[in-house]
Every structure is written in structure tokens, then in C-alpha cells.
Chains A and B, each alone.
Chain A
Amino acid sequence: MTTTPPPAAAPESLLAAPDQASQAQISAEIAAAHADAERRVAAGEPLPTTLYDFPPYRSSILRHPTKNPRLVDPETIELLSPAFGQRDVAAIESDLTLQHAGEPLGERMTVEGRLLDSWGRPLRNQLVEIWQANAAGRYIHQRDQHPAPLDPNFTGAGRTVTDDEGRYRFTTIKPGPYPWRNHVNAWRPAHIHFSIFGSSFTQRIITQMYFPGDPLFALDPIYQSIRSQKDRDRLVGVYDHDLTSPEFSMGYRFDIVVDGPDATWFEPEKEH
């Protein structure tokens, strides 16, 4: 976590494009892209859950593949994945509120969940990494120049390894919504980035967890790059009062199911 990001070309958060679309235009494009996807799926075309070709997310236009992925039988190496264990992380890395001398500002929260495969089996000893903006919606990344305050007591990165029930748990601060320059007045709903390993490299996933009831959901072309509502709902953490600690923190539950080909069925627990 000490890697210094290189000074690089400014991402969309800094680029003031003169021809930026309005939110109304972006929202219309999102609706049209969803309708198109629905039509194609109804016609029998296999489309991914997350659309790679999704022009309302402007920076995807030149970065998405134009050809369908090639369906392939996984080889042995792809059916296994790197082995992680407690030696890979320090216990304190799962508490993002303890990384500095003082308490970070904002709404303290825990997020807890289980990592499961397509058959509901827990995935043990898997690495879970998270990163996020602070309570004001500011990332510590040097290329984030959003004029909201940095918090000297909050970095916003953590990692842990799942336990024997596939469970992970982080203590952090609820991130704020984040402005970016995809279009005029573009705001990302509050989110925590998640990076997860499964027991098979094919199950690897990087995604984002959101918070219930966010009014920005419908407006956000990244969240909406997932074409169906039921799949979008899977990225929303559930408020769980049983995870809320009296006079201390709010609790959210976010279970993660990794995908994988049928061949991943043949990999139950052998490395343990």
C-alpha cells in the first residue's frame, strides 16, 4: 500500500470536455442501451451481465472489446487460484479507522459478508481488498483533485482474508458521493470498491458495493452498465441492524457470489 501512483494523463475527473452531455442526455442513452440489450437478449443473443459496450460511460467507448469473448475450456492453472492466508495480511488492515493517529471523520460503519460460489459453498482463505473515498467523497489518490477535504486520519484502503465460513468484515467510514466529469454534473453514488479472489482464477472479480436507497443510482452510467435491475440490486449492501453496534457504528451486509464455469464444481476444498 506504499506504491506511489505515477503522475499520468489526467483521468476524466480532471478533463473539462467542451462537448459534455447533460444528465438528461446520459439518462436517455442509458435507457436506450438497456432497451437495446433487452431486445438482443430476447432475440437469443448472449450478452454479459455487465455490458462492455456501454457508451453512456464515455471512457469505455475506446476501451471495450468489439468482439465477443472466445468460449474456452479452462486449463488446470485457470481452475485454481493463488493461495492466500493470514500471512498475506495484517489483522489491522481490515480496520480502516485505525490506520492513523486520530479518528477519521464521518459515519463509522462495518461491512460484513460471505464469499460463496455458485452452489453456495463458502470460499475460505480468499483475499478481499477494498478501497474508497472518504466521508467527503474525496479519494486520497493524487490525481483526484475534487475540491473536498482530505482527511488526515483516513486513507481508505483495506484488505483481509476470508475465514472458514467464507466471511470477511471491515470497519470503515461511509464514503461520500463523488463528482466526476463523464458529463455535466455527474456524481457517482457512494460506493466501496471490492477486489475478490475465488478458488478458481476464472472467478476473480472486481466490483463496487453501493448503499441502499441512493438517489444517484438511476443517473450513474457505471452502475447502469449492469443491464438488469435484479443484477444491479446484487451490488447494494443491505442495512442490517444486527450488525449495527450500539453507540458505535452502522452495519451493512454484502455477500459476494463468484461466477465460474461448471468445472469449478470439481474444486471443492482440496487445498485445505
Chain B
Amino acid sequence: MTVVPPRTHAPTPGQTVGPFFAFGLGYPAMNQVVFPHSPGSLVLGGTITDGEGAAIPDALVEIWQADADGSIPRARGACRRDGHTFTGFGRAFTSDEGRYEFWTRNPGAEPGKAPFFAVIVYARGLPNKLHTRAYLPENAAALAADPLLASLSGEERATLIATRTPDGGLTFDIRLQGEKETVFLAY
């Protein structure tokens, strides 16, 4: 194993995204990781709620994912979509009802591993970013073998596994606080 040398530079601290990010962070087709209705495409969506269960209308969600075959996208163009290149990155703002949506496709993973979307949430009132994962609900053996999921209680685990909808889409709700609070991650 390579020895990691000591760090020489202290990190810049994060801050809240604030209320007025839409005009700075929005760009055309930002939530279309794949072209809508293209073969294999699906809607990944959910609602973001606060400690009282109220929808959060001023949140920002980003996803970053492997392609369906588990490969990591290295193509450029996530910020200027051409409608066909798979860059693996998407960004969505929540609606008045606190709902976010992406057009994307199922991520794959390395053999034996459980596929997931890497997710970051930001919001007005949230002092810094929050990382989490949205796992695909299929492949029980891989989910059972996942080190993170295995370390969680049943209720915590459920917050990280997306629900498959009848049309093949995925629902992944995010609760920032309170009952069924989503498990957030540090690395």
C-alpha cells in the first residue's frame, strides 16, 4: 500500500448554498443525465422534507453515477448537454412541493457490489452540503454484502434504498431531520 503523506493544506470550509442559487447554478437540461424517454431511461425522483415533515422548496440535489455496465463516465459535457453523451452527473432544484426529478438510467457497479447513485443535498438553511447514497432496490445479495448498509439498523438502511415504481422509475425521498432521518455520510 502507498503511504499517504501528511496533508499540507487545510480545507476551505463549506457554507450554505443560500436562497438564490437558481440563477447561478441552473443550466439547460441539468437534470437530464440521459435524454428523456430514450431507451433505458427512467425518472429518479423524491421529496426533500424538514424536521416537521414540511417540503423544502429551495433545495438542490446532485447525483453522480456509474453507467449501466458499472463503468465510470469520463466524458465531458455535463454542464453543456449534447443529448447523447453519458456524463453521469445531474443537478436538480426542488419544486414548490419539495420534489426533485432526474432523467437517468440504472447505475451498474463492480461485480458483487451494490449499485448506487452518489447524492449530495444542499438547501437554504442547511449550513453545508450533505452526502448520501441512493441504492437500487434489486440484488438482495449485493445489498446484504454492502459494508455501509450492513452497519446500519433496518430503519436507517431503508432510508438509503430507493423504491422501484411500477413504470421502472425510482423514488428516493430525503429527510433532513427527525423521524426516518436519512443517513448522511462522511468519508
Give the interface of A toward B (CB within 8 A): 1-3, 5-9, 11-13, 48-52, 54, 57, 59-78, 80-85, 87-89, 116-120, 127, 129-132, 139-141, 143-144, 155-157, 159, 193, 195, 201-202, 204-208, 222-223, 225-226, 230-232, 234-235, 255-263, 265-266, 271
Instruction: Say whether A260 contacts B187, CB under 8 Å.
Output: yes
Given A6-B96, A50-B127, A206-B129, CB of A63 within 8 Å of CB of B50: yes
Give the interface of B toward A (CB within 8 A): 2, 4-5, 7-28, 30, 50-52, 54, 56-58, 62, 64-66, 72-80, 87-89, 93, 95-96, 107, 109-110, 113, 116, 118, 120, 122-131, 147-148, 151-152, 176-178, 181-187
Instruction: Say whether A69 contacts B184, CB under 8 Å.
Output: yes
Instruction: Say whether B52 contacts A3, CB under 8 Å.
Output: no
**Cβ of B122: which chain A residues have Cβ within 8 Å of it?**
206
Instruction: Say whether A64 contacts B127, CB under 8 Å.
Output: yes
Report 26 cross-chain contacts, Cβ distance below 8 Å, ordered by A residue. A3-B30, A5-B23, A50-B13, A54-B127, A61-B125, A63-B51, A63-B124, A66-B178, A67-B181, A70-B185, A72-B186, A77-B118, A80-B72, A82-B64, A82-B73, A82-B87, A82-B88, A83-B74, A88-B80, A143-B20, A155-B23, A202-B131, A206-B122, A225-B128, A262-B4, A265-B5
Q: A82-B87, A159-B79 are in contact. List 7 more A-B contacts (CB 8 A).
A: A3-B30, A65-B182, A84-B76, A118-B9, A225-B15, A225-B16, A226-B15
Residue among B11, B56, B131 facing the most chain A CB atoms (10 A cut-off) = B11
Given A204-B129, A206-B129, CB of A82 within 8 Å of CB of B185: no
Residue among B126, B128, B181 facing the most chain A CB atoms (10 A cut-off) = B128
Instruction: Say whether B13 contacts A235, CB under 8 Å.
Output: yes
**Cβ of B131: which chain A residues have Cβ within 8 Å of it?**
69, 202
**Cβ of A157: which chain B residues have Cβ within 8 Å of it?**
23-24
**Cβ of B78: which chain A residues have Cβ within 8 Å of it?**
82-84, 88
**Cβ of A62: which chain B residues have Cβ within 8 Å of it?**
50-52, 54, 125, 176-177
Instruction: Say whether B124 contacts A48, CB under 8 Å.
Output: no
**Cβ of A132: which chain B residues have Cβ within 8 Å of it?**
24
**Cβ of B183: which chain A residues have Cβ within 8 Å of it?**
67, 70
Instruction: Say whether B23 contacts A193, CB under 8 Å.
Output: no
Looking at the complex, which one of B27, B123, B125, B184 makes contact with A57 (CB distance below 8 Å)?
B125
**Cβ of A257: which chain B residues have Cβ within 8 Å of it?**
9-12
The B interface, classified by DSSP as helix, strand, loop or mixed, is loop
**Cβ of A266: which chain B residues have Cβ within 8 Å of it?**
2
Instruction: Say whether A11 contacts B58, CB under 8 Å.
Output: yes
Residue among B73, B126, B147, B182 facing the most chain A CB atoms (10 A cut-off) = B126
Looking at the complex, which one of A73, A76, A226 makes contact with B147 (CB distance below 8 Å)?
A73
Given A64-B127, A82-B87, CB of A7 within 8 Å of CB of B74: no
Instruction: Say whether A144 contacts B20, CB under 8 Å.
Output: yes
Instruction: Say whether B15 contacts A83, CB under 8 Å.
Output: no
Given A82-B88, A193-B17, A265-B2, CB of A71 within 8 Å of CB of B181: no
